[in-house]
């Protein structure tokens, strides 16, 4: 998870990061003194999940920075941080997650992440299937890879779990969305987890290298290129 703090006062940055660690000691944030530096870093993938943004920055408007950040990454949650409630209405017109008045507490940070999780959960597609005697429900965007295994399907998730689902490969594939691509017989990948699409293999974020069907190589690569282009175009429009 990428977290950013943008505040021109290093002491305020440290105070907010302490509040963040009060929620989760393993978390750390990328810190910026200027909004322009934040925007440069925001262009790198993966995008920021959440940004704690000071409204009052020397020579810059936090509101303008937030609007520019929306153009770069509409899915990034923005929590405004300030010394007053003067800009609260304008902040929420930008669909801000939260409006925090300094000093920020761990309770404030917890609430910001709760809202981020709630928004993302409401927008995420789910799939349910049987794993042995139990039934599992996961978000589609958690699925990295599906591999046919005789009368079952091995489902690899982003958190490292690997589930064996007793169903037909075609039936499970029919429940997926446009983020998934069949690259070979019995192999479907989530294109959001591809880091490199080669001529005969594709590489996933975890380093896995998967074979691409030779005869369909050109069509597979074209479909992936189209998906990436469409995704970037949607971000720009938003």
Predicted pLDDT of residue 165: 92
- Weakest mean pLDDT among 63-67, 75-79, 229-233: 229-233
Predicted pLDDT of residue 90: 62
**In the chain, count of helices (H) and strands (E)?**
7, 17
- Half-sphere exposure of residue 142: CA atoms within 13 angstroms, side-chain side: 18
* Pairing status of strand 77-82 against strand 98-101: parallel
Please, which pLDDT band fits residue 237 given cuts at 50, 70 and 90?
very low
Mark whether 71 and 34 lie in a shared domain: yes
Mark whether 146 and 75 lie in a shared domain: no
Residue 235 pLDDT > 50: no
Mean pLDDT for 58-83 is 88
Last residue of a domain, one of 123, 139, 174: 123
Residue 188's domain comprises 126-237
Predicted pLDDT of residue 8: 95
Mark whether 172 and 199 lie in a shared domain: yes
Mark whether 157 and 137 lie in a shared domain: yes
Higher pLDDT, 40 or 72: 40
Percent of the chain with pLDDT over 90: 60
Average pLDDT value over all residues in the chain: 88
Predicted pLDDT of residue 232: 64
Mark whether 119 and 131 lie in a shared domain: no
Mark whether 149 and 170 lie in a shared domain: yes
Mean pLDDT for 168-172 is 92
Mark whether 107 and 16 lie in a shared domain: yes
Tell me whether residue 35 is exposed, middle or buried, using C-beta atoms within 10 angstroms of its C-beta: 0 to 12, 13 to 18, 19 or more: buried
Last residue of a domain, one of 90, 123, 156: 123
Tell me whether residue 77 is exposed, middle or buried, using C-beta atoms within 10 angstroms of its C-beta: 0 to 12, 13 to 18, 19 or more: buried
Contact 93, 67 (CB under 8 A): no
* CA–CA dist 77, 43 (Å, integer): 15
Mean pLDDT for 36-47 is 90
Mean pLDDT for 32-40 is 96
User: Rounded to whole angstroms, what are the CA distances from 122 to 69, 116, 118, 126?
Assistant: 22, 10, 6, 10
Mean pLDDT for 55-79 is 88
* CA–CA dist 84, 13 (Å, integer): 17
Mark whether 102 and 183 lie in a shared domain: no
Supply the CATH number for residue 143's domain. Answer: 2.40.50.1020
Supply the CATH number for residue 22's domain. Answer: 3.40.50.2300
Tokens read off for 7: 């505040």
Mean pLDDT for 86-105 is 76
Predicted pLDDT of residue 92: 57
Mark whether 201 and 185 lie in a shared domain: yes
Residue 132 pLDDT > 50: yes
Mark whether 146 and 135 lie in a shared domain: yes
* CA–CA dist 29, 97 (Å, integer): 17
Mark whether 107 and 147 lie in a shared domain: no
Residue 193 pLDDT > 70: yes
Last residue of a domain, one of 95, 123, 151: 123
* CA–CA dist 169, 199 (Å, integer): 25
Residue 212 pLDDT > 90: yes
Mark whether 217 and 137 lie in a shared domain: yes
Predicted pLDDT of residue 238: 40
Contact 113, 52 (CB under 8 A): no
For the chain, the domain total comes to 2
């Amino acid at each position: 998870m990428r977290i950013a703090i943008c505040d021109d006062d290093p002491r305020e940055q440290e105070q907010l990061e302490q509040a963040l660690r009060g929620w989760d000691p393993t978390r750390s944030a990328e810190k910026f003194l200027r909004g322009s530096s934040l925007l440069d870093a925001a262009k790198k993938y993966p995008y920021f999940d959440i940004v704690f943004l000071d409204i009052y920055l020397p020579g810059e408007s936090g509101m303008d920075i937030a609007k520019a950040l929306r153009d770069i990454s509409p899915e990034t949650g923005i929590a405004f941080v300030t010394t007053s409630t003067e800009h609260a209405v304008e902040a929420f017109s930008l669909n801000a997650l939260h409006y925090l008045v300094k000093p920020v507490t761990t309770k404030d940070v917890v609430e910001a992440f709760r809202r981020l999780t709630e928004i993302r959960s409401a927008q995420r597609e789910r799939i349910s299937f049987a794993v042995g005697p139990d039934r599992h429900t996961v978000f589609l965007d958690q699925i990295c890879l599906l591999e046919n295994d005789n009368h079952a399907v091995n489902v690899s998730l982003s958190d490292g779990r690997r589930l064996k689902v007793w169903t037909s490969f075609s039936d499970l594939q029919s429940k997926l969305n446009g983020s998934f691509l069949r690259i070979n017989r019995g192999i479907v990948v989530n294109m959001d987890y591809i880091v490199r699409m080669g001529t005969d293999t594709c590489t996933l974020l975890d380093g896995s290298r998967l074979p691409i069907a030779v005869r369909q190589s050109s069509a597979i690569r074209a479909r992936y290129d189209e998906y990436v282009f469409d995704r970037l175009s949607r971000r720009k429009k938003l």
